[in-house]
């Protein structure tokens, strides 16, 4: 094959590989958005639709999605197309911060609700009692 043809073939292969990675990165942004929406909506619901949760989580979630979108052009088949200006670090930090904050807030609120509701064993007709009871009956037993 002529050198020029090899160059063109190599360029098309790298370009299609990069395009494939960028399509995956775009799908990753949608997946990240879905995770942030579900975590945020759950926290919002547990806090009885509190505006404080909206004020905290929505800007953080939007900023995370903007960073994820800004990172797409830097995705390449081998390595990256230059280094994005601290986008990767801030994207990771924002994602971890959002998910940790959401999980902690939800856990605190659920524990407060459990404390108000009383001991778990007193609610033998409740759904949570049934779930925990069935989970304990399915869990493997330790040999004594």
Residue 22 to residue 109: CA distance in whole angstroms: 39
Sign of CA dihedral 87, 88, 89, 94: positive
Q: Name residue 75's beta-bridge partners.
A: 80
Contacts of 84 (CB under 8 A, 6+ apart): 70, 71, 74
pLDDT digits (tens, 9 = 90+) for 91-109: 899 999 999 999 899 888 8
Share of the chain above pLDDT 90, in %: 30
From residue 61, give the alpha-carbon distance in Å to each of 6, 27, 66, 94: 45, 17, 9, 8
Above 90 in pLDDT, residue 58? yes
Integer Rg of the chain from CA? 24
Please give the residue that has the higher pLDDT: either 107 or 111: 107
Cα torsion through 107, 97, 80, 21, rounded to 10: 40
Domain boundaries, the chain: 3-118
Q: CA-to-CA distance for 71 and 90, rounded, in angstroms?
A: 11
pTM for the model:
0.67
Give the burial string for 74-113 (b: 16+ CB within 10 Å, else e). bbebeeeeeebeebeebbeebbeebeebbeebbeebeeee
């Amino acid at each position: 094959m002529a050198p020029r043809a090899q160059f063109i073939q190599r360029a098309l292969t790298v370009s299609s590989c990069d395009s494939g990675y960028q399509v995956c990165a775009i799908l990753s942004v949608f997946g990240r958005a879905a995770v942030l929406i579900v975590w945020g909506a759950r926290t919002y619901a547990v806090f009885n639709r509190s505006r404080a949760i909206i004020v905290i989580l929505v800007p953080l979630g939007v900023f995370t999605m903007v960073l994820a979108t800004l990172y797409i052009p830097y995705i390449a088949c081998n390595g990256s197309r230059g280094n994005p200006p601290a986008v990767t670090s801030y994207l990771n930090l924002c994602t971890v911060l959002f998910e940790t904050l959401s999980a902690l807030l939800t856990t605190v609120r659920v524990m407060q609700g459990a404390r108000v509701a009383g001991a778990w064993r007193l609610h033998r007709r409740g759904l949570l009692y049934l779930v925990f009871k069935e989970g304990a009956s399915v869990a493997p037993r330790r040999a004594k």
